[in-house]
Structure 1
């Protein structure tokens, strides 16, 4: 197994939605032993600390239908710069959230270094709303749309360019809660989605194999980022998330997915988001995040 220089970047962001507590996610994941878990695999770890997050009042702007636009924009700009810096240094960026709005910054920093970035979006939700389609105005439901160029220009133009990723280079795994506007966009843009229906029919091993083949066929992508929302996993295993959806991926299936992605050697950066300790039970959700990070980075039973 190749040994990596892993740079951990915490993003204590809870302004992409309106439920407090997810800003403590990076601390909870660190407390659950993420550094020690990665180092035990022989990788080198540098904890880069946390991105500074500004204050916001949580209100929705009546003109934009967006909650906390400025603070989210500022934070994702700072995150994009940091991710670009550590990737340029040859390190593996591992971003800890924080709500899923942070992916706007993560993708901005990574994609700047690649012609055709691929994205595996492991999530119960599609996160492809815009201010026109969002029922809540929460930016954590918009990062994928913003990353392929749809939405408010402050979100689409992080790091001064757009789009960050092509719709045909995106794979969503675990979807089971998709808004009407997102459903239309998925069909219109031809985005590859493995919903729970496909997972139940095909099995996780076949889904991951198919996703890998799809992203790598004819050299479609030159790097692949994993964005894993802990609500992609069934809430019986990850109770500490803000938007739980029953009927999700199991704990063991998630480990299998991470093991297969590691064995394929295609993941070049990753983020684990939406751990909310206030809603959790004895840090169970952060423990799951750390265990899955271990599998992604090469942990084996034997």
Structure 2
């Protein structure tokens, strides 16, 4: 993707404050039915996330975990935990706005993928003009009527986008959230498990969607740039990556609730994030669906390490090696002794 120098220099929405990162944990599991995903934030932290990020010379601040108190709301068909989703994501949206007000890149650790309702809502309210890369095996485009499971982690894109707002009933407790994101500003990467209704929606609205077949045909480098050129043709949007760990092949990240074989390699995911970082417009990242109760210790280790590699790449780590600090112009001979 070729962006004009003028677009980069004059961009008021996506210019990132380099070096400042805010971590938000969301130990939330009510968007699905498997125990353990609420332990994801601590599992990623305990695997060394903050230490690994500070080695990149980043100013990292951990804002702790989101807590919430669900209000009593009316029942909605096929959304049994709506009150929990509504309360948690509302608090998360407010926290995202607070962190962005400190000119920090927001890194949100889930929790299940329903938490992205809060992160993207907060990002839109803070920056207004945003583009979203949804990196996932699944499209998460169901409504309460079309979902077979009633799991809200399969519904966040449908909840967030304005074009799909008419497909929902009134949702008690969600009045704080108005769909302000156009589906034209969302691009999928890594799809390989899409319901029939979701496929219909993708085709009806012409949603930018790159499945694993496309990754194999074009390569991850071209797929990333084609996706960005579709959702951000003028290079003036603040970028948000919502990264579900199940976008990776289960051989790379086995500890997740809805694995699908044939996914992204870790190398492809790292390259994806490196390319997004190079836009200089990445302002928010969700890393969700790590479940340390699925699989043995080695599975959990593989999954949390993969999550950290993905986040490091998004925040400036390069496989070419870290840059030499300013002021050093020669290599001391004793380095080689």
Q: Which band: TM-score by shorter chain?
A: over 0.9
**What is the SS of the residue equivalent to 1:293?**
helix
Partner of 1:260: 275
**CA RMSD, Structure 1 to Structure 2 (Å):** 2.0
**What is the SS of the residue equivalent to 1:173?**
strand
- The 8 Å contact of residues 39 and 292 in structure 2, kept in 1 or not, is answered as yes
Q: Is the aligned partner of 1:289 residue 2:301?
A: no
| TM-score between both structures, scaled by the size of structure 1 | 0.93
- The 8 Å contact of residues 148 and 156 in structure 1, kept in 2 or not, is answered as no
Partner of 2:327: none
Partner of 1:207: 223
* CA–CA separation in structure 2 for the residues paired with 1:266 and 1:169: 14
Instruction: Deviation per CA, 1:210-249: give whole Å up to 9, x if none.
Output: 1222222135x52110000000000001000000001101
**Of residues 196, 199, 205 in structure 2, which corresponds to 1:183?**
199
* CA–CA separation in structure 2 for the residues paired with 1:2 and 1:148: 27
Q: Is the aligned partner of 1:85 residue 2:98?
A: yes
Give the structure with higher Rg (CA): 2
Q: Is the aligned partner of 1:17 residue 2:35?
A: no
* CA–CA separation in structure 2 for the residues paired with 1:238 and 1:202: 23
Shift of 1:289: 0.4
Residues 155/29 of structure 1: CA separation in 2 closer, same or farther (3 Å cut):
farther
Residues 78/62 of structure 1: CA separation in 2 closer, same or farther (3 Å cut):
closer
Q: Is the aligned partner of 1:129 residue 2:145?
A: no
Q: Is the aligned partner of 1:45 residue 2:60?
A: yes
Residues 8/153 of structure 1: CA separation in 2 closer, same or farther (3 Å cut):
farther
| TM-score between both structures, scaled by the size of structure 2 | 0.83
Shift of 1:161: 4.5
Partner of 2:237: 222
Partner of 2:111: 98
Of residues 113-122 and 29-38 in structure 1, the stretch that sits farther from structure 2 once superposed is 113-122
Shift of 1:89: 2.0
- The 8 Å contact of residues 17 and 104 in structure 2, kept in 1 or not, is answered as no
* CA–CA separation in structure 2 for the residues paired with 1:185 and 1:237: 30
Shift of 1:285: 0.8
- The 8 Å contact of residues 249 and 261 in structure 2, kept in 1 or not, is answered as yes
Residues 104/156 of structure 1: CA separation in 2 closer, same or farther (3 Å cut):
farther
Residues 109/153 of structure 1: CA separation in 2 closer, same or farther (3 Å cut):
farther
